[in-house]
Amino acid sequence: MTASRAKAGAVATSSTARAHTYARAEGGRSHTARVVGEIGRQIVSGRYAENSILPGDAALERQFGVSRTVLREAVKTLAGKGLVQSRARIGTRVRDRADWNLFDHDVLIWHAETGFDAPFLGALGEMRLALEPEAAALAATRHTPDQRRALQAAVASMGAEGVARRAFVEADLEFHLTVAAMAANPFLRSISTLIEVALVESLTRSSPLDDPSDAARVVAEHRAIADAIGRRDAAAARATMRVVILEGIRRAATPRK
């Protein structure tokens, strides 16, 4: 991501952050987690460009007020996410974006906080389209009664009279994460952060609540997925989820007003 792209995404960042608080996986409030988060965001935003060399250890220790041990642990964590590579007598180099682990929880959230560009949003949508319809089909054959009730509760929350924007986003997110859990596949459950950032971004850009008829249609589509899963109709669950994801992709491509 170039510096200009990062700047263009800055407005999107503040709007998205106000609408949703992302779950954290940086290890709490330790010094190492803080350094990982700050350097990681600067890499994702383009402040530290691909193939650039980070400032030396001494400079970073002064900048963050941490020990050499803490800094090296942070760099090791960033290396594990595919963002950097350290070499003796060269320093720590920011790796090409193609090498970044985009499925990593923190890396995805740093992208969300920094601001998405159109190609990245498109790629997120393609991943959802590839995975979530099949998750819905699996959910139809594998769900438990408690999960079915949780799914129905999420739909009810989405359709509640006078529902606030944030509550709608959280209920919609709960719906999709519940479907992923119902599929009972550990790989599908691991995409929860991908679902979260893509869904929150699309709803922040263009909320169906802006148009009552649009909101009613979206709720009805989600209810249709829940009903198909409840009657164990895998084909219907798959097809209806595909419709919902395609609508989400369209919404994500809609510029904020």
Condensed to tens digits (0 to 9), the pLDDT of residues 27-53 reads 456 999 999 999 999 999 999 999 999
Closest CA to 147 of 226, 243, 236: 226
* CB-CB neighbours of 191 under 10 Å: 21
Same-domain check for residues 14 and 80: yes
Enter the pTM of the model: 0.81
Query: How much is the pLDDT for 127?
Result: 92
Domain that holds residue 123: 116-252
Q: Is residue 11 part of a domain?
A: yes
Asked if the model's pLDDT at residue 106 lies above 90, the reply is: yes
CA atoms within 13 A on the CB side of 78: 29
Closest CA to 165 of 109, 220, 204: 204
Q: Is residue 104 part of a domain?
A: no
Asked if the model's pLDDT at residue 197 lies above 80, the reply is: yes
Confidence of residue 199 (pLDDT cuts 50, 70, 90): confident
Instruction: Report the domain count for the chain.
Output: 2
> Strand (E) positions, 31-147?
84-87, 91-94
Cα distance between residue 107 and residue 45, in whole Å: 11
Q: Is residue 89 part of a domain?
A: yes
Q: What is the CATH number of the domain that holds 183?
A: 1.20.120.530
Cα distance between residue 62 and residue 41, in whole Å: 18
DSSP state of 210: G
Query: How much is the pLDDT for 9?
Result: 41
Same-domain check for residues 66 and 174: no
Cβ pair 19, 199 in contact under 8 A: no
Same-domain check for residues 126 and 59: no
Condensed to tens digits (0 to 9), the pLDDT of residues 165-193 reads 889 999 999 999 999 999 999 988 788 88
What is the Cα gyration radius of the chain?
A: 20
Range 200-216 average pLDDT? 82
| SS3 category, 53 | strand
Same-domain check for residues 64 and 190: no
Same-domain check for residues 129 and 214: yes
